[in-house]
Amino acid sequence: RKEVEQDPGPFNVPEGATVAFNCTYSNSASQSFFWYRQDCRKEPKLLMSVYSSGNEDGRFTAQLNRASQYISLLIRDSKLSDSATYLCVVYTGTASKLTFGTGTRLQVTL
Amino acid sequence: DAGVIQSPRHEVTEMGQEVTLRCKPISGHDYLFWYRQTMMRGLELLIYFNNNVPIDDSGMPEDRFSAKMPNASFSTLKIQPSEPRDSAVYFCASSLNWKTKETQYFGPGTRLLVL
């Protein structure tokens, strides 16, 4: 089993739609969680950290479910500019390791 | 701030040749990371440094790969001899303190093609 798993997509949604991605992780000792965004042929950039109580940043909401070992990212009112690959990232302190998922590709269309 | 700087941006070489990738981290950042990204395997951590000292090189594929950080503002990743399976995008990233959730800032990457 991969340490961090994501549905590769692509998720094709119309502008204005709400879309959600999930990511599962295998190490229950994982401590920190992040979503990064990567545009085509560009470098990954931090989108948001994921906190235990869940957190929101504008149209983006991140949730953590430790019991089921998954994190989610919800995007409301999708924009064309949201089209990108979203990488789930997990930090495991005991292994001192940051592990990236392979990403979920989102395509927002008119 | 110029961000993380990597060179070259593109490299095409023939199998067996030595390849050297370069990185200048953001000034003041204590951590430097080398990643490799392929379609099949995604983004993989190869090695990271803290205060110029290699901390974890368990991701380095084999002895053909080596990395150095002679000072706080410069690091190299060397592949010798290169093989076609080394073709990938190599990213360098730096961070103040990633273990306390500080962001890792990525450079633009080096696209390597080994023929």
Report, in this order, helix, strand and coil percent for chain A, each rounded to 5. Answer: 5, 55, 40
Which of A31-35, A68-72, B90-94, B107-111 is least confident? A31-35
CB B91 within 8 A of CB B106: yes
Q: What is the mean pLDDT of chain A?
A: 93
Contacts of B69 (CB under 8 A, 6+ apart): B32, B49, B52, B53, B54, B75, B76
Q: What confidence tier does B2 reach under pLDDT thresholds 50, 70, 90? A: confident
Closest residue of chain A to B35, computed from CA coordinates: A100
Per-residue CA distances from B26 to A7, B69, B105 (Å): 33, 14, 8
Tokens 């430097």, residue located = B32
Peptide bond into A10 cis (omega under 30): yes
The pLDDT assigned to B61 comes to 87
The pLDDT assigned to A47 comes to 95
Closest residue of chain A to B59, computed from CA coordinates: A97
Tens digits of residue pLDDT in B4-56: 999 999 999 999 999 999 999 999 999 999 999 998 888 999 999 999 999 98
The pLDDT assigned to A68 comes to 94
Give which of B57, B89, B102, B104 to mutate to test A binding, by max A Cβ within 10 Å: B104
Contacts of A104 (CB under 8 A, 6+ apart): A6, A7, A8, A9, A11, A21, A23, A85, A86, A88
Neighbour count for residue B60 (Cβ, 10 Å): 18
Tens digits of residue pLDDT in A50-92: 988 899 999 999 999 999 999 999 999 999 999 999 999 998 8
CB A50 within 8 A of CB A35: yes
Q: What confidence tier does B62 reach under pLDDT thresholds 50, 70, 90? A: confident
Cα separation, A39 vs B108, whole angstroms = 11
The pLDDT assigned to B40 comes to 85
Asked if A98's CB is within 8 angstroms of B45's CB, the reply is: yes
Top pLDDT among A88 and B2 is at: A88
The pLDDT assigned to A1 comes to 73
Q: What confidence tier does A95 reach under pLDDT thresholds 50, 70, 90? A: low
Chains A & B: contacts with CB separation below 8 Å: 40
Strand partners, B77: B21, B67
The pLDDT assigned to B102 comes to 67
B21: tokens are 């990738």
